[in-house]
Amino acid sequence: MYKEKITRGSRPLILVTNDDGINARGIKTLAEFLMPLGDVVVVAPDGARSGQSAAITVKEPLRMAMVENREGYKALKTTGTPVDCVKLALNVLFADRPDLVVSGINHGSNSGVSVMYSGTMGAVFEGVVNGIPSIGFSLCSFDADADFSICSEVVETLCSRALKNGMPEGMGLNVNIPSTKHLAGMKVCRAARGRWTAEYDSRIDPMGRPYYWLTGYFDNAEPDAPDTDEYVMAHNYASVVPVTPDRSLSEIDPRVVEWMAL
């Protein structure tokens, strides 16, 4: 459909997306950080798609339109989810496979169990399923004037490494960066276990009918575990959690065999 499909030039080809939409500060900052590393193509939703997980658009057709096109940098908006953006880029837009998929920088944390609901990370899983090194970045701040500059070193270090060395098959990275003046570094860790709780604010509308706003807080089941993302972030480190799209329990977990035999 795109008569002139995007091909890889002499530099690496980097696909950038997010779930906050193409006009978010986080994705603009991310693209700037990445431009020294390769040719950047942003394919992102035309508006906010927070909490979209790995949702795909199945019942409506999608649109995609170029909004910026200059040397080493292209930006396209779509009517879809973050996963739709990656799929459109790989299937419709690109003649060559990108060398790296980068998602974010998300406005707000995707640590702990939040990785499950995150549209930012949905895009990362889609990249991994397609065999492409993929990294999601989140800054743990919802402030309109959050300081994304503190993310630059982490983004450049991990993305350079992925471009240079590739990444183990089936693995992506979920990187969360605490909103702090003095980032101590980064640590590889795992997602803290826990769950969201007290999740709705129940209200009554002027017609007397109930409605429910999603709210609540993350109840960390292991606040003292030093190898978790929540813990390292509380100590001013960026958390680097290796993640996989594969949902199968390791094959086959003895607990399962036991359970099936009950």
Q: Which of 48, 97, 153, 183 binds a second copy (CB under 8 A)?
A: 48
| Binding of a second copy by 54 (CB under 8 A) | yes
Q: Which of 213, 217, 223, 226 binds a second copy (CB under 8 A)?
A: 213
Pairing of strands 100-107, 134-140: parallel
Nearest distance from residue 40's CB to a second copy, in Å?
A: 22
Contact characters 2-21, a second copy, x per CB under 8 A: x-------------------
Q: What CA dihedral angle connects 115, 238, 193 and 81, to 10 degrees?
A: 0
Q: What CA dihedral angle connects 222, 227, 231 and 232, to 10 degrees?
A: -170
Q: Which is nearer to a second copy, 60 or 71 (CB)?
A: 60
Among 157, 174, 162, smallest CA distance to 122 is for 174
| Binding of a second copy by 212 (CB under 8 A) | yes
CA distance 50 to 118: 7
Stretch that binds a second copy, among 5-13, 32-40, 80-88, 147-155 (CB under 8 A): 80-88
| Binding of a second copy by 195 (CB under 8 A) | yes
Q: Which is nearer to a second copy, 35 or 92 (CB)?
A: 92
Stretch that binds a second copy, among 6-14, 27-35, 52-60, 148-156 (CB under 8 A): 52-60
Q: Answer for the pair 136, 58: CB distance below 8 angstroms, yes or no.
A: no
Q: Which is nearer to a second copy, 32 or 57 (CB)?
A: 57
Q: For residue 136, what are the CA distances in angstroms to 19, 169, 180, 241?
A: 11, 16, 19, 10
